[in-house]
Amino acid sequence: MIGMSIVKRKPLPGWVMLVIPVAAVFVTLLITSIPILIAGGNVFKAYGALFQGALGSKFNLLETFVKASPLILTGLAVAFAFRAKFWNIGAEGQLFAGAIMATWVGIYFTWLPGFLVLPVMIILGFLGGGLWATIPAFLKTKLKVDDVVTTLLLNYVIFHMMGALLFGPMQMPGSSWPRSASIMDAAFYPMLIARSRFHLGIIISFVAVLVIWFINNKTVFGYQSKGVGINLNAAKFGGINTNMVILKTAIISGGLAGLAGVGEVAAIHHHLMMDVSPGYGYTGIVIAMLGNLHPVGVALAAFFFSVISVGAQTMSRVAGIPIYIVGIIEGVALMTMLIFILLTEYKIRWTKS
Amino acid sequence: MEGRILEKQPVIEMRGVTKRFVDVIANDKVDLKLFPKEVVALLGENGAGKTTLMNVLFGYYNLDGGEMLINGESVTFSSPKDAINHGIAMIHQHFTLVQTQTVLENVMIGMEGSFFLNYKKAKDKLLAIEKEFGFQLDPDAIVWTLSIGEQQKLEILKALYRGAKILIMDEPTAVLAPTETIELFDTLRNLVKSGHSIIFISHHLQEVMDICDRVVVLRNGRRVAEATVSETTIPELASLMVGRELLERLDKGKSKTGDAVLEAKDLKVKNNRGITAVDGLSFVLREGEVLGVAGVSGNGQTELSEMLFGEIKPEEGEIFIYGKKIPGGSPAAVIAEGMARIPEDRIKTGLFMDLSVKENMILESHIKEPISKKGLINMKEIRIFADNCINSFSVKTDGMDIPVKSLSGGNLQKVILARELVGNPKLVVACQPTRGLDVGAMEYVHQAMLDQKVSGSGVLLISDDLDEIFLLSDRVIVMYEGKIMGEMSAEEADRDKIGLWMSGVIS
């Protein structure tokens, strides 16, 4: 019989971590060619159409950026939290919190001077997501309640709170649907490239990547947050106020997800509705893992996911592959990446007995 | 117990058992016999090789030499399963119970037999065993609702359910309250009456006198003595345990003692099981001296160090550094007063194993200038600082950017020493600073402590290694059950007396 055991390997050089996501993407496309074949498609034609559809023209490329923007923000949100081992599965809910705040400002803050509307909306959207994330952070640090459970379940709480608002005080007058009135024009994210949807939010998400990179690598807080994630005992021993670090981490993480919600309202929908997010918060988890919790990795992973999701439309039309292949690719990408990460720390030893 | 029956065949006989780890001999040609209906104590200090010997007997480790006989038959165990099949059970200090399952379910684990569970049959069998040996555990009670003493009884029940005739008990009383210990001993006496044999690992001499028939003493991996309990005394056992070797004399260096650096007044704290671990402890440490805190581990040393390090808050009592009262439970406050801290567990509390050497070097200085300023870290200063640490303490590492986990144990400890001692602190508190280190690294740590003292610092050395205590200390205090049993100076150091104090006996 052949047995298998997993043994720890010696630390690998740093560059390996750069190669791994690329290799994971490659392996993923290899694996997902199997269902494409089963669906009766030509693999090269299908992938060709996929990338053509996402990157093949200026308009398509810009659309891919549009789609990547919320994914970058939720991916960063999750990655920043996971780095401190604050298991934030709640980016989806924090996105809703941000979207609600943005809508509130966009509809009711008509008394504000026009140039102040966007800054106020962005700040309140960030705070909305951030404060929503402090609830599980408090529960974790003060009462030792598991953060995976609380962050996840709070998604449903705020989803239904949003429903109550959209059927209640925030419902568009005269509508029978759960949707808000449209936000004022001053609250629209400006479009930065003509005849496209390339909006301010995309720039905000790129700036967020830089800011998170800066926090991680250049600030005392970034060092402390990483330390808390790697060894809570040692962090405490070193005099770090670990509860405060977790709380601040939660605010920044939730805030980033909140900004994704602001973007969806201010740039895409211009009003609030129940399906303001097609699961960006959950996809953010996959992206954070695929990006190995590194901000630049997150941006690239988000872009990859965006390519798949935008290009799948073309692939479906040209190669006749159902659009549901997107979900398969996303899932396989996550599994592949997790296995690759495992293999950087451990190796498999086959034994015969 | 009642008279031994020496003419009978031993149930266990270990002959010349030898066990080596990479460069250490943990057991060196050890002989051990266990007769039916006998309780044999395995006595020795920490690291004497007791647990290793029992792990060999229980099949965790392979023999490197010698042989084992069960009921006169030569055996080779390749896993604990083999030992269990020969009727041997080991009760560990840390229980192996499923906390959320019932007593019955825990007993049945691994004994299911077939696909279907027969709860009724198992319960009847369990109750019969409980009746025979006088246990009173509700089979349907959930484990986490049981007291520690009851959980230990459940471990014994598990062993009996599997038909064990030989029980190895690894420091069973270490986790128990005094009344629970009395109950445990009653249980053990019942077991012996019905034909079981027991190996009792301990370093509590009074307990050995109370429950055992015979004592086998291990020291540095060797069997150094054997005694019949009825013919020996606690002082004799104590001196057998700590040995009579000539004390190694290291040049301790000369220094003048000065002001009080660290003062503890009536410290009191409970451990995480709610038992008082440190019970009204006071001492004064002065500049230019090494104060050794001796004691068998588990007598409150860990909790004492955690209070001094600021990790836990004393329930009563005060800590002063240079006369300034330190708020309890704040590592940051202790760091701010300049205490160098060598923690007991360097991997769990001392280091970020996944971070680089340089990031570990700045653990305590990362909020201080010039390492950081206004919340921003200065990588150039970090590199200078880490480079200085690595060079001054000759840390063997492939640069400062590699993860600290790729360093050897001795070098991990050097990383901590470097970080803590590089600023030449006036106060050093070290808890088990050489545990698990090889001889070379050990000497390095010892010399670093003495250098600190000679340069005028006060050094508090908490250690369960008596040799280390004698080697370095100018004064020694001995902890037993959270209290100080006595104090003596290096000149009047008397191993026998200290051995007695460590066992809770004042003579």
Confidence of residue A140 (pLDDT cuts 50, 70, 90): very high
User: Over the stretch B87-143, which tens digit does the pLDDT of each residue have?
Assistant: 999 998 778 888 889 999 998 887 766 677 788 888 999 999 998 888 888 999 999
Closest CB to B376: pick one of A219, A226, A231.
Answer: A219
CB contact under 8 A, A233 and B355: no
Closest CB to B375: pick one of A219, A234, A241.
Answer: A219
Confidence of residue B1 (pLDDT cuts 50, 70, 90): very low
Put simply, whether A13 touches B (Cβ < 8 Å) is: no
Closest CB to A237: pick one of B343, B367, B377.
Answer: B343
Q: Give the Cα separation of B140 and B465 in Å (integer).
A: 44
CB contact under 8 A, B332 and A241: yes
CB contact under 8 A, B351 and A10: no
Put simply, whether B405 touches A (Cβ < 8 Å) is: yes
Q: Which domain holds residue A26?
A: 2-352
Domain ranges of chain B: 12-242, 260-351+425-502
Chain B CA closest to residue A230: B352
Phi and psi, residue A61, nearest 5°: -60, -45
Strand pairing of B475-480 and B483-489? antiparallel
The fraction of chain B above a pLDDT of 90, given in percent, is: 50
Which CATH number do you get for residue A324?
Answer: 1.10.3470
Q: Name which residue leads in pLDDT, B76 or B205.
A: B76
List residues bridging with B65 in a β-sheet: B18
Average pLDDT value for chain B: 87
Flag whether pLDDT at A353 surpasses 60: no
Least confident among A91-95, A122-126, A149-153, B432-436: B432-436
User: Over the stretch A18-76, which tens digit does the pLDDT of each residue have?
Assistant: 788 888 889 999 999 999 999 888 899 999 999 999 998 999 999 999 999 999 999 99
Q: Give the Cα separation of B78 and B276 in Å (integer).
A: 41
Contacts of A211 in chain B (CB under 8 A): none
Flag whether pLDDT at B2 surpasses 70: no
User: Over the stretch A309-350, which tens digit does the pLDDT of each residue have?
Assistant: 899 888 888 888 888 888 898 889 889 988 988 888 888 888
Average pLDDT value for chain A: 92
For residue A185, the 8-state DSSP code is G
The full length of chain A comes to: 353
User: Over the stretch B419-432, which tens digit does the pLDDT of each residue have?
Assistant: 999 988 999 999 99
Assess contact for B135 and B190: CB atoms under 8 A. Answer: no
User: Over the stretch B294-317, which tens digit does the pLDDT of each residue have?
Assistant: 988 788 999 999 999 999 999 999
Confidence of residue B30 (pLDDT cuts 50, 70, 90): very high
Q: Give the Cα separation of B458 and B481 in Å (integer).
A: 25
Flag whether pLDDT at B4 surpasses 70: no
Flag whether pLDDT at B244 surpasses 80: no
* Omega before residue B425 within 30° of 0, cis: no
Confidence of residue B174 (pLDDT cuts 50, 70, 90): confident
3-class DSSP state for residue B190? helix
Confidence of residue B45 (pLDDT cuts 50, 70, 90): confident
Structure confidence at residue B112 (pLDDT)? 65
Structure confidence at residue A317 (pLDDT)? 87
Choosing among 3.40.50.300, 3.40.640.10, 3.40.50.720, 3.40.50.1000, the CATH entry for B260-351+425-502 is 3.40.50.300
Distance from CA of B268 to the nearest CA of A (A): 20
Assess contact for A284 and A71: CB atoms under 8 A. Answer: yes
CB neighbours of residue B69 within 10 Å: 16
- The total number of structural domains that make up chain A: 1
Closest CB to A237: pick one of B309, B366, B405.
Answer: B309
What mean pLDDT is predicted for residues A271-288?
94
Flag whether pLDDT at B46 surpasses 60: yes
Q: Which of A214, A237, A248 to mutate to test the interface with B (most CBs of B within 10 A)?
A: A237
Structure confidence at residue B378 (pLDDT)? 94
Contacts of B350 in chain A (CB under 8 A): 234, 237
Q: Name which residue leads in pLDDT, B301 or B1.
A: B301
Flag whether pLDDT at A240 surpasses 60: yes
Chain A CA closest to residue B363: A238
Structure confidence at residue B271 (pLDDT)? 83
Structure confidence at residue B500 (pLDDT)? 83
CATH topology classification for B12-242: Rossmann fold (3.40.50)
Put simply, whether B18 touches A (Cβ < 8 Å) is: no
Structure confidence at residue B507 (pLDDT)? 61
Residues 69 to 108 of A: which have CB under 8 A from any B CB? Answer: none
Q: Give the Cα separation of B190 and B134 in Å (integer).
A: 8
ipTM entry: 0.86
Flag whether pLDDT at B5 surpasses 70: no
